[in-house]
Chains A and B, each alone.
Chain A
Amino acid sequence: MLEGAKSIGAGAATIALAGAAVGIGNVFSSLIHSVARNPSLAKQSFGYAILGFALTEAIALFALMMAFLISFVF
Chain B
Amino acid sequence: MEIPMIEQLFRRLNIYLSHPDQEPEWVRYVYNDLRDQDLMARLQYFLKDEEMEDCEFNLPRLREIFFNLTREQRKSPFYHLVFPDQMDYLQEIARMSAEMRIKDGNGGSPLEQFSIHPLILMKIGNFYFSFTNPSLSMLLTLGLVLLLLFFVTKKGGGKSVPNAWQSLVELIHDFVPNPVNEQIGGLSGNVKQKFSPCISVTFTFSLFRNPQGMIPFSFTVTSHFLITLALSFSIFIGITIVGFQRHGLHFFSFSLPAGVPLPLAPFLVLLELIPHCFRALSSGIRLFANMMAGHSSVKILSGSAWTMLFMNNLFYFIGDLGPLFIVLALTGLELGVAISQAHVSTISICIYLNDATNLHQNESFHN
Contact = CB atoms under 8 A, between A and B. Distances in A.
A27 interface: no
A70 interface: no
Place the interface of chain B in its size category: 10 to 19
A54 B341 contact: yes
Nearest to B225: A65
Interface string B283-306: 001100110110010000000000
Contacts of B344: 51, 54-55, 58
A31 interface: no
Contacts of A72: 109, 111
Contacts of B286: 55, 58, 61
B130 interface: no
Contact of A57 (B290, B296, B347): B290
Nearest to A66: B289
A14 B290 CA distance: 15
Contacts of B218: none
B111 A68 contact: yes
A13 to B, nearest CB: 13
Contacts of A51: 343-344, 347
Contacts of B293: 61, 64-65
A51 B111 CA distance: 28
A62 B289 contact: yes
A50 interface: yes
A54 B340 contact: yes
B111 A58 contact: no
Interface of A: 50-51, 54-55, 57-58, 61-62, 64-65, 68, 72
B22 interface: no
B367 interface: yes
Contacts of B289: 58, 61-62, 64-65
What are the 6 closest A-B residue pairs judged by CB atoms, nearest first?
A61-B289, A58-B286, A54-B344, A64-B293, A65-B289, A61-B293
B203 to A, nearest CB: 14
Interface of B: 109, 111, 285-286, 289-290, 292-293, 296, 337, 340-341, 343-344, 347, 367
B329 to A, nearest CB: 16
Nearest to B296: A68
B285 A65 contact: yes
B290 A61 contact: yes
Given A65-B293, A68-B111, A72-B111, A50 B340 contact: yes
Contacts of B109: 72
A65 B223 CA distance: 12
B254 to A, nearest CB: 21
B96 to A, nearest CB: 22
Contacts of B292: 65, 68
- Candidate in B109, B340, B343, B344 with the most chain A CB atoms within 10 angstroms: B344
A62 B281 CA distance: 12
A54 to B, nearest CB: 4
Contacts of B285: 58, 62, 65
A9 B316 CA distance: 32
A3 B302 CA distance: 26
A61 to B, nearest CB: 4
Given A62-B289, A65-B285, A55 B341 contact: no
25 contacts: A50-B340, A50-B343, A51-B344, A51-B347, A54-B337, A54-B340, A55-B286, A55-B344, A55-B367, A57-B337, A58-B285, A58-B289, A58-B290, A58-B344, A61-B289, A61-B290, A62-B285, A62-B289, A64-B289, A65-B285, A65-B292, A65-B293, A68-B111, A68-B292, A68-B296
